[in-house]
Chains A and B, each alone.
Chain A
Amino acid sequence: MDSQIDQHGDQAAPRLEFVFQIRIDLGERVIFGPLVRGGQQGFVAVKGGEITGPRLQGRVLPGTGGDYPYIWPDGTFEFDAHYLLEASDGTKMRLRNHGYRHGPKDVIDRLLAYEPVDPSGYYMRMTPSFEVPAGPHEWLGKTVFVGTGNRRPNYSIFRYWAVY
């Protein structure tokens, strides 16, 4: 559905397969700094959420983590999130998410104020990785993913594609 292959049409180009999306319910966003190394530290707690899609369904386990973004001196957000998921069959797994968000300052300012922003006006991409037990979900621990994010006041939605 949302997959698009390399426009160069090379045989070795990866195929993207949409696998699932996660809505993450978030607590209060915190930013502090400047840090000794420069930049700022952010934090937001994960309060829960829902996983839907063709390859995984389940929920985000409340109180199991959050995002600890490092905000670069130039304003780039480097996401560094980890928390636990529970698939609908009860399997627990750990998700770590690493990614970047940056763009023109006026666009990012509007985004941070939760004003409507054209998603093509800024860059926000991430790659999740999983610690998962053997069994029906172990493919998550052997697959490379890329994703996009949509930031809302009380939640974020991440959409993930497997790279084949």
Chain B
Amino acid sequence: MALGVLVPLKLEHVFDLRLSFGEELPLGPTSLAHDRVFHLVSGGTVSGPRLQGVIVPNSGSDAPCRSKDRAVIEGEWLIRAADGTVIRMTNSGYGPGAPMSAPWRADVPEYAGASLHLSPKFEAPDGPHAWLNRTMFVGKGDRRRIDASIRIFAAM
């Protein structure tokens, strides 16, 4: 079998996010997604070599869906870059299953943090931030009850 040209792959650190969470809104049991909780994003910061700015306060939520074996991460919020550009960030990925994910619930007080593996997407207008639209990213995060830190890497 011809393998063709082997393309090298590397990850380039592009920026970091710090998110703060406000109100928690459990969706409750559904026939599809058990134990989803919306954590409203109250604010945060973006810093790093390729993007700087803030998380627009109350612009979205982090909504992990927990099951026994994994937590499926889904979230969306807005970034306001230092130059004023508004950028939509859609986050997805995986976190640990129960019981590690249980502390995401407000009724479980003790929580040391959980490691997340992420595959975020961005929607930016034409201009200096348009590269975000057509680049594949991965992220690693540390999720705590009231905040999270996420490092974003471009797949180059």
Residues of A at the B interface (CB closer than 8 Å) are 2, 4-8, 10, 12-14, 16, 21, 23, 50, 76, 78, 99-100, 102, 119-120, 123-127, 129, 134, 138, 141-144, 146-150, 152, 157, 159, 161, 163-164
Contacts and interface: CB of A to CB of B under 8 A. Distances in A.
Nearest to A5: B11
Contact of A4 (B3, B9, B94, B118): B9
Contacts, number: 99
Contacts of B117: 14, 143-144, 163-164
A117 B11 CA distance: 22
B80 interface: no
B119 A144 contact: yes
Interface of B: 1-13, 69-70, 93-94, 117-119, 134-136, 138, 140, 151, 153, 155-156
Interface of A, helix, strand, loop or mixed by DSSP: strand
A7 B140 contact: no
A161 B93 contact: no
A148 B70 contact: no
B11 A16 contact: yes
